[in-house]
Structure 1
Amino acid sequence: MPTSSPATILGVALPSPLRRLFDYRAIAPPPGGWRPGLRVRAPFGRREVVGIVIECRAHSEVPASRLKPVAAWLDDTPLPADWLWLCHFTARYYQHGLGDTLSHALPGLLRQGRPLEARTRETWRLTPDGQSLPAEALARAPRQAELLAMLRQHPRGVTTPAITAQGYARAQLQALTDKGLIHAEEQPLIEAPPPAPERLLAEPALTLNGEQAQVLGRLHDGLERFTPALLHGVTGSGKTEVYLQLIEAVVAKGRQALVLVPEIGLTPQTLARFRKRFRVPVVALHSGLADGERLDAWLAALQGRAPIVIGTRSAIFTPLARPGVIIVDEEHDGSLKQQEGLRYHARDLAVARAHHHGIPVLLGSATPSLESLAKAHSGHYQHLRLTRRASRHAPARLELIDTRGRPRRGGLIPPVIEAIRQTLAAGHQVLVFINRRGFAPTLACETCGWLAECRHCDARLTLHRQPHLLACHHCDHQQPLPEACPQCGSADLRPLGTGTERSEESLAGLFPEVPIYRIDRDSTRRKEAFESLLSEVRRGDAAILVGTQMLAKGHHLPHVTLVVVVNADAGLYASDFRAMEQSAQLLEQVAGRAGRAEHPGRVLVQTQHSDDPQLTLLASRGYDALAERLLAERRAAALPPYRFLALLRLEAPREEAVQALAEQAAEALRAWLADQASEVHCLGPVPAPMERRQGRYHMQLMLSAERRSRLHEAGAWLIGWLEQCREARRVRWSLDIDPQTLS
């Protein structure tokens, strides 16, 4: 029987995989009373956790005798309603628990129960008496007079560290305080309201070309309403300048801009350019920040003190006091999709959030996703084009180099090595792109054919030289190099294939006088190592860059005139239906690093399939032509973006357990779909592309539908069935809505 009491019942969302609220008795309320959005500390099992109040009601289905009171309330004021809406929408759309979604969206310190307060710093200002004091009044205390004069030049105040750095002592501050001439205030670390519009810019905006000006004009027309737009511009066409001038218009109206970039590596260069342009605070939000820095930036955005927020995918959950525009740079990039836990797509949430706020959202890319292109073609998005580079040179076309039957050194064939030599002789830089870190993809026995394989995954171990070991790039398992083949005892063990380390070593032997910079996840582990390497490269001396896709995304390398793709085939023929789209995007993005300044660029693509019709189309007519062909194929095959997918992933240490549950779930789902006469198709179950990973067996079940609503109904039913199934408690499972990869 439901209990009824005049005391308020709080429905609290807790950080738990369970997809429901937990009822608690209210205690004495905070000053504003109990409201949704307040954080509370609540008993949960044997511990206390931080949750968020979602409902306040007088009834509960739980007997009164079993209801526990919350331990404490943590905030006087609730979290903003639009932020709560975004979390509710995310949990509902991605079929995820609300409590876990809210926990993901909060900064770590707020999840731990820290107050909703920003860190402060001591700032000194003149009092009215100090402002009116004649200059000669402190003639007998010259250092105090100098300090007072310095403060008079900074009416917004000077921090204590800045004062002591000028050689002043705490005693002088205290003396002026005792005289009533100055006083100290505690201010947030990020504290700078927007200046008058005429003082918004720290440096003037660049002059736009005709295409840029036309695009910006169309964006200005939609500033006061929800206007989704795809900015489809070739690499180097000046998309960032369009972003900057659009943000200028938004901030001048007293509103805020949220800019999403796909990876942390792009954040420093984007921040630097934005901070150089604007006088207002530009804050960053990404996983590389310390907890205190992240909370400061989050609160500055929430309270409107930060007009411009730049971050990676999780920054989509940043609350904004006065939202004005959301910009998603490199909108096609797979890094915008979270692949574990809450599997949201930041680009799609950006569109939903902009619609909720009634503001424009701008998606930018040189190689748009097929989903965004389809919406642009159908008129759901404005399709804005930038077809010319800011420099006078056209984008470099791909030159396919057939490697069949040709000798290689470090993965490079002789004509490519000669092209590198000529480029360096001209004083330019070369980017050698190989999307595989380590020395070689695996180690092999020349005698019996044994291959070094991971004992936990269906994958081969990668040979590394720095340090000397074998490592799995899927589960991070590492082991020392064997002295002999464990299968036949032969000492003739040889590396197979080429990674970034091997290319670096080979190029160092070929060009000993030229600096070589290897840029991959291994060489940039130290904080700021990536930016340090890029700074060296941007000096402009002749050099060779050897890198993975870290270098392919959005970096401006003005002195690179030759790009070499060592192996274009690695991702083209994977089992995933998105393989060609993603490989073509990566090739075009890395090709865009060439010839961005005064010298034209050249792109050499090594391949064993130079006659592949899709690859030749990409090389001859570019990404746009290939995208049109891929869209036609997707429509014919009933694949996204013309059909909606959800992927049930199951994994367990025992193969029999995961297979039995997958088959049982498929049978139950098909029976329900038949009973509902649903249009949803159930495909599988099948083993995942890598069936054994991290010591666990993985299987998949695919749901496919023409209508999103029907897919969500089927997904919700399947989740409910799994939550009631006893066998599912021994298997880890998750439902991925709109999966971007089948691996």
Structure 2
Amino acid sequence: MHIVRVALDLPLSTLFDYSLAADSEAVVGQRVLVPFGRKQLIGIIMEAVDSSELADERIKPVSRVLDDVEPLPAELLRLLRFCSDYYHYPLGMTVLSALPARLRSDEPVSRKVPQIYGLTETGLALDLATLPQRQKVQLRILNALQQGVMDIAQLRALSASAPAALRSLVEAGWVELAIQTAPAHRFATQHTLTDEQQTAVDAVTQNMGYGCFLLHGITGSGKTEVYVHLMHHALQQNKQVLLLVPEINLTPQLENYFRSRFPDAELISLHSGLGDGERTQNWLRAQNGQARIILGTRLSVFTPLPELGLILVDEEHDSSYKQQDGLRYSARDVAIFRAHQRGIPIVLGSATPALESYYNAQSGRYRLLRLNQRAVAQATLPSLRLINTNQVLMQEGLSPQLLTALEQRLQRGEQSLLFINRRGYAPVLMCTACGWLSTCPHCSGKLVLHLPDRRLRCHHCGLQQRVPSDCPSCGNPDLQPVGIGTQRVEAMLNERFPQSRILRVDRDSTRNKGSWSAMRQQIADDKIDILVGTQMLAKGHDFPKLTLVGVLNPDNALYSSDFRASEKLFAQLAQVAGRAGRAEKPGEVLIQTAFPDHPLFHALREHDYVSWAETLLAERRLAGFPPFCFQVMLRAEGPHADGVFTFLQQARKAGTALTHEVELYGVVPAALPRRANHTRAQLLIQADSRATLQPFLRAWRPLLEALPAPKLRWSLDIDPLEF
């Protein structure tokens, strides 16, 4: 009897033994269907062994071996074992969470061959200038196919309506399914590298084996162009490239750009915005080596890539790389481990690196590469002006200086961006008579006013209510919105500048699929005068006609209890300021603040990340915060406060009894103490080194699992970012 040890998607820190028929050809990494209780579950074979500690009669046979997909490679299984061990998360749940949803079921998966299209002889002979210019998408497709054949994904990247236009072109006899294959590798050279960019490219390409490089480049310095040339070098060596980006809304823009630069290299994207079927097919093309460029958000760090030769992490400081539930991994840190495991270079790019990354570069663990100049010769860094909100009369959150600057841009036909990181109309509704506030009955937060649909919404638990006609407490009909959100700014601008074209970009306005893509096209086509948006607009986007950025109400983060708040605020403001003046026209940034003398704003005005980072590192060293220590947060939540705090107090007592050289702080409420009728609290553990912390966690976790925790959910968050 063959014995296989199988990882199952269960909250148990163990593998499960099953028997295999003698004639079965299952191997490690293969998917299997196995009985578990009354259910049939999908699992992954992690080991093949000769014997089991269980009696033969207790070992159930594997129901079915699923051979429709290649087994997971041993290298990826080692990576997943490391993640399970380091983040103290059950191995089975770690392994299964790395798979596309379709592969976590027993439905057979068939690999689809992408259809490739090319011009017919008639299409090649066409003079595009003679065709109706109103057929913009058809002309775009014909123009692109003149450069070579393209698959349907590449064509769809040209326009959302490409499939319909393509059908018309096929019916006209100008386009046909092509059978020829594309050349091995063609590189569209569009830009001459600056000296700084060339130095950075040479440093990475001349590196042998593993090396972690921190590419610190100011906004607009051409980090993407460095990525392109590094990709070109890897593709020439017939290697695959993994490029991680922090958020979904950055992928379409980058995808189109990289397709234009590498027209013959197969590029796939992996993110949660894709349907299950498309994501699975892309994952399979990466697994079999067909896809050469893999562009994805954090989960794509676990994609099997047999010929991986380079990893790029764009905006490496971004907190979106940290998963905040389930397996609470940092995709950036896992990517570094994967590069080390594989023996390949990894490049972390950012205008405002995470302090941990900057410290590692200063201490020699990473190699620091700098880009201090903007890539476009005529482009200069934007000028930054602070507006003291204590000294001016504000109109719906906007100062007279900012309104004047907006008017000037409208007259010159230039674009402006107003950044406020708060969606909705107003953060809270208040009664002017008794002081009643629109609080959420299930959370510690407030119900946010969304005026267009007359709703109050909780952004934590999702509760929605109609806006009351009078005060629920005293009956007063005079209810006033307090504070400003994106909707209120948009309404004020429409009233002040009725002829201007205003676009609001936040999670509410981009909820429908394809909406953000359409908005981005409007901005690129110069159909928008003023953008109002949240952090969705702050990073990665290149809007050449944008010359003014206004920042509203950034002060909340200056005096936060989170020790990382000022670091995050500097990064956020530097990113959004960097949207201005990226082309020939100079940019200007106006920041409205009640604290214009704060050192953060001084560093920002001088575009001086280095001095600000050194200031923060000095503070962190004195306070004993990361990167000068290592932290773990034990979080717990449940319907009853007594149960939550009792569990955490018992956990602290068990940890203290272990006598490891770690510091266990007191049990405290979470930043949001109550969410969805659940009380939330936490316990912080700190140590001077990972070598001290990890053995403690291995000894402590079994004690935690043995503690009574009825109706409680608890989790360990290694290297936490949220406090």
TM-score using structure 1 length = 0.88
Say whether 1:407 aligns with 2:393: yes
Residue number among 697, 705, 714 corresponding to 1:715 in the alignment: 697
Q: Using the TM superposition, give the Cα deviation of residue 424 of structure 1 relative to its aligned residue in structure 2, in angstroms.
A: 1.7
Return the alpha-carbon distance in structure 2 between the equivalents of residues 439 and 517 of structure 1. Answer: 15
Residue number among 345, 352, 355 corresponding to 2:330 in the alignment: 345
Residue number among 165, 190, 211 corresponding to 1:227 in the alignment: 211
Q: Which residue pairs with 2:4 in the alignment?
A: 10
Return the alpha-carbon distance in structure 1 between the equivalents of residues 150 and 607 of structure 2. Answer: 59
* Match runs of 1:685-724 below 5 Å: 685-724=667-706
Q: Which residue pairs with 1:358 in the alignment?
A: 343
* Match runs of 1:502-521 below 5 Å: 502-521=488-507
Q: Using the TM superposition, give the Cα deviation of residue 355 of structure 1 relative to its aligned residue in structure 2, in angstroms.
A: 0.5
Say whether 1:83 aligns with 2:83: no
What do the CA deviations read for 1:591-633 (whole angstroms, capped 9, x no partner)? 0001111111111111111222333333345322211100111
Q: Using the TM superposition, give the Cα deviation of residue 427 of structure 1 relative to its aligned residue in structure 2, in angstroms.
A: 1.6
Say whether 1:426 aligns with 2:408: no
Say whether 1:52 aligns with 2:44: yes
Return the alpha-carbon distance in structure 2 between the equivalents of residues 654 and 501 of structure 1. Answer: 37
Say whether 1:647 aligns with 2:640: no
- Residue type of the alignment partner of 1:233: G
Return the alpha-carbon distance in structure 2 between the equivalents of residues 506 and 86 of structure 1. Answer: 52
CA 1:350 to 1:234, structure 2 compared with 1: closer, same or farther past 3 Å?
Answer: same
Other structure's SS at 1:60 match: coil
Say whether 1:368 aligns with 2:368: no
Other structure's SS at 2:200 match: helix
Q: Which residue pairs with 1:241 in the alignment?
A: 225
Question: Is 294-303 or 606-615 further displaced after alignment?
Answer: 606-615
- Residue type of the alignment partner of 1:466: P
- Residue type of the alignment partner of 1:23: D
Return the alpha-carbon distance in structure 2 between the equivalents of residues 300 and 66 of structure 1. Answer: 39
CA RMSD of aligned residues (A): 2.5
Return the alpha-carbon distance in structure 2 between the equivalents of residues 207 and 524 of structure 1. Answer: 36
Return the alpha-carbon distance in structure 2 between the equivalents of residues 307 and 258 of structure 1. Answer: 9
Residue number among 270, 278, 282 corresponding to 1:285 in the alignment: 270
Say whether 1:310 aligns with 2:295: yes
CA 1:192 to 1:361, structure 2 compared with 1: closer, same or farther past 3 Å?
Answer: farther
Q: Using the TM superposition, give the Cα deviation of residue 217 of structure 1 relative to its aligned residue in structure 2, in angstroms.
A: 1.2
Return the alpha-carbon distance in structure 2 between the equivalents of residues 604 and 459 of structure 1. Answer: 30
Residue number among 475, 481, 490 corresponding to 1:495 in the alignment: 481
Q: Using the TM superposition, give the Cα deviation of residue 228 of structure 1 relative to its aligned residue in structure 2, in angstroms.
A: 0.6
Question: Is 363-372 or 207-216 further displaced after alignment?
Answer: 207-216
Residue number among 15, 21, 36 corresponding to 1:21 in the alignment: 15
CA 1:469 to 1:155, structure 2 compared with 1: closer, same or farther past 3 Å?
Answer: closer
Say whether 1:732 aligns with 2:713: yes
Q: Using the TM superposition, give the Cα deviation of residue 28 of structure 1 relative to its aligned residue in structure 2, in angstroms.
A: 4.4
Return the alpha-carbon distance in structure 2 between the equivalents of residues 92 and 157 of structure 1. Answer: 43
Q: Using the TM superposition, give the Cα deviation of residue 697 of structure 1 relative to its aligned residue in structure 2, in angstroms.
A: 0.5
Other structure's SS at 1:667 match: helix
Other structure's SS at 1:570 match: helix
- Residue type of the alignment partner of 1:382: R
Other structure's SS at 1:452 match: coil
Return the alpha-carbon distance in structure 1 between the equivalents of residues 345 and 516 of structure 2. Answer: 33
Q: Is the 8 A contact 1:470 1:478 kept in 2?
A: yes
Q: Which residue pairs with 2:439 in the alignment?
A: 453
Other structure's SS at 1:119 match: coil
Report sequence identity in percent: 45
Say whether 1:36 aligns with 2:28: yes
Q: Is the 8 A contact 2:522 2:528 kept in 1?
A: no
What do the CA deviations read for 1:104-158 (whole angstroms, capped 9, x no partner)? 1001111112446422368999xxxxxxxxxxxxxxxxxxxxxxxxxxx999999
Question: Is 87-96 or 493-502 further displaced after alignment?
Answer: 87-96
Say whether 1:252 aligns with 2:236: yes
CA 1:168 to 1:504, structure 2 compared with 1: closer, same or farther past 3 Å?
Answer: closer
Other structure's SS at 1:455 match: coil
- Residue type of the alignment partner of 1:255: K
Q: Which residue pairs with 1:148 in the alignment?
A: none
Q: Which residue pairs with 1:300 in the alignment?
A: 285
CA 1:94 to 1:416, structure 2 compared with 1: closer, same or farther past 3 Å?
Answer: same
Residue number among 461, 465, 468 corresponding to 1:475 in the alignment: 461
Return the alpha-carbon distance in structure 2 between the equivalents of residues 192 and 364 of structure 1. Answer: 34
What do the CA deviations read for 1:269-291 (whole angstroms, capped 9, x no partner)? 00000001112111100001111
- Residue type of the alignment partner of 1:241: E
CA 1:8 to 1:444, structure 2 compared with 1: closer, same or farther past 3 Å?
Answer: same
Question: Is 210-219 or 490-499 further displaced after alignment?
Answer: 210-219
What do the CA deviations read for 1:301-355 (whole angstroms, capped 9, x no partner)? 1111111000011110111120110000000001111011110111001100000
Return the alpha-carbon distance in structure 2 between the equivalents of residues 374 and 573 of structure 1. Answer: 24
Return the alpha-carbon distance in structure 2 between the equivalents of residues 252 and 649 of structure 1. Answer: 47
Q: Which residue pairs with 2:601 in the alignment?
A: 615
Return the alpha-carbon distance in structure 2 between the equivalents of residues 124 and 251 of structure 1. Answer: 23
Q: Using the TM superposition, give the Cα deviation of residue 252 of structure 1 relative to its aligned residue in structure 2, in angstroms.
A: 0.8
Return the alpha-carbon distance in structure 2 between the equivalents of residues 451 and 426 of structure 1. Answer: 43
Q: How many pairs were matched up?
A: 680
Say whether 1:95 aligns with 2:80: no
Other structure's SS at 1:99 match: helix
Q: Which residue pairs with 1:180 in the alignment?
A: none
Q: Which residue pairs with 2:138 in the alignment?
A: none
Say whether 1:329 aligns with 2:323: no
- Residue type of the alignment partner of 1:733: W
Residue number among 27, 37, 62 corresponding to 1:70 in the alignment: 62
Other structure's SS at 1:243 match: helix
Return the alpha-carbon distance in structure 2 between the equivalents of residues 435 and 663 of structure 1. Answer: 36
Q: Which residue pairs with 2:255 in the alignment?
A: 271
Q: Is the 8 A contact 2:387 2:590 kept in 1?
A: yes
Q: Is the 8 A contact 1:261 1:328 kept in 2?
A: yes
Say whether 1:606 aligns with 2:592: yes
Say whether 1:597 aligns with 2:578: no
Q: Using the TM superposition, give the Cα deviation of residue 168 of structure 1 relative to its aligned residue in structure 2, in angstroms.
A: 10
Q: Using the TM superposition, give the Cα deviation of residue 434 of structure 1 relative to its aligned residue in structure 2, in angstroms.
A: 0.4
Q: Is the 8 A contact 2:643 2:709 kept in 1?
A: no
Say whether 1:320 aligns with 2:313: no
Question: Is 685-694 or 570-579 further displaced after alignment?
Answer: 570-579
Q: Using the TM superposition, give the Cα deviation of residue 541 of structure 1 relative to its aligned residue in structure 2, in angstroms.
A: 5.4
CA 1:550 to 1:167, structure 2 compared with 1: closer, same or farther past 3 Å?
Answer: closer
Q: Is the 8 A contact 1:261 1:329 kept in 2?
A: yes
What do the CA deviations read for 1:222-266 (whole angstroms, capped 9, x no partner)? 1x4111100000000000011001100100111110000000000
What do the CA deviations read for 1:556-605 (whole angstroms, capped 9, x no partner)? 01111110001111322221110000011000000000111111111111
**Structure 1 unaligned residues grouped into runs of 5+:** 1-6, 126-152, 174-183
Return the alpha-carbon distance in structure 2 between the equivalents of residues 581 and 665 of structure 1. Answer: 31
Q: Which residue pairs with 2:130 in the alignment?
A: none
Say whether 1:387 aligns with 2:380: no
- Residue type of the alignment partner of 1:708: R
CA 1:572 to 1:113, structure 2 compared with 1: closer, same or farther past 3 Å?
Answer: farther
Q: Using the TM superposition, give the Cα deviation of residue 741 of structure 1 relative to its aligned residue in structure 2, in angstroms.
A: 1.2
CA 1:163 to 1:91, structure 2 compared with 1: closer, same or farther past 3 Å?
Answer: same
Q: Which residue pairs with 2:421 in the alignment?
A: 435
Q: Is the 8 A contact 1:192 1:280 kept in 2?
A: no
CA 1:157 to 1:238, structure 2 compared with 1: closer, same or farther past 3 Å?
Answer: closer
Say whether 1:667 aligns with 2:648: no
